Every structure is written in C-alpha cells, then in structure tokens.
Amino acid sequence: MSLKDSLITKLETQTENWKKEIDRIQAEAEAEKAKAKDKQAEADIESQFAGKVKDLQKNIEEAQEQLKEVKESGTSGLQELWDRIGKQLPGSEGKKDSR
C-alpha cells in the first residue's frame, strides 16, 4: 500500500471510529438522562456529554480537512504529510509505508 493510500485509509478509518464513538456517547447520555432525578441533573448530564461530542466532532472536521489535503497532494509532499498527520492517528507510532 502506498503512503498516500495508507494515510487515506487511516484518516477514513479514524473518522468512522470517531463517528461511532459519538453515537455511543449520545446513547450513554440518553440512558443517563433517563435515570436523572430532576431537570438540573439532566442538564448536567447533557453538558458533560456535549463537551465530549464537541471534541470528537472537531477531530472529525480536522481529519476531513487532512483527508482532502492528502487526496490533493502529489507524491513529493507525502512524507511531510505523513510526518504531520500520520503520527497523530492512533496506531501509527513508528509505522511508515513505502511510497
């Protein structure tokens, strides 16, 4: 797999993982809100989980921007992109694919 294909795959996979995590967090928030004893407790739960979702949504937006950048890049800039993007993704420590 080329370096470009590897970066694309990693970004797409991580984006999907973050989307699944958002779904899981939202389901957990709904379950916790159902157990809440009053409106204030519901609001506290909503606030707690909203921050987590917001962080993940930001990660997804950044990954989508990076994905666009990778897809539009030529071979000359791929190593730089790998150094900047690839190492930030989970499971990428110390891995480099051939160009």
Task: Render pLDDT for 31-78 as a digit per residue (tens, 0 to 9).
Answer: 998 998 899 989 999 999 999 999 999 999 999 999 999 888 887 788
pLDDT at 78: 80
* Residue 30 within any structural domain of the chain: yes
* Residue 97 within any structural domain of the chain: no
The length of the chain in residues reads 99
* Residue 55 within any structural domain of the chain: yes
Tell me the C-alpha distance between 11 and 13, whole Å.
6
What is the count of structural domains for the chain? 1
* Residue 96 within any structural domain of the chain: no
pLDDT at 64: 95
CB-based burial, 65-97: b 16+ in 10 Å, e otherwise: ebbeebeeeeeeebeebbeebbeebeebeeeeb
Give the mean pLDDT of the chain.
86
Confidence of residue 98 (pLDDT cuts 50, 70, 90): very low
Q: Which token pair is 88?
A: 């930030």
Confidence of residue 92 (pLDDT cuts 50, 70, 90): low
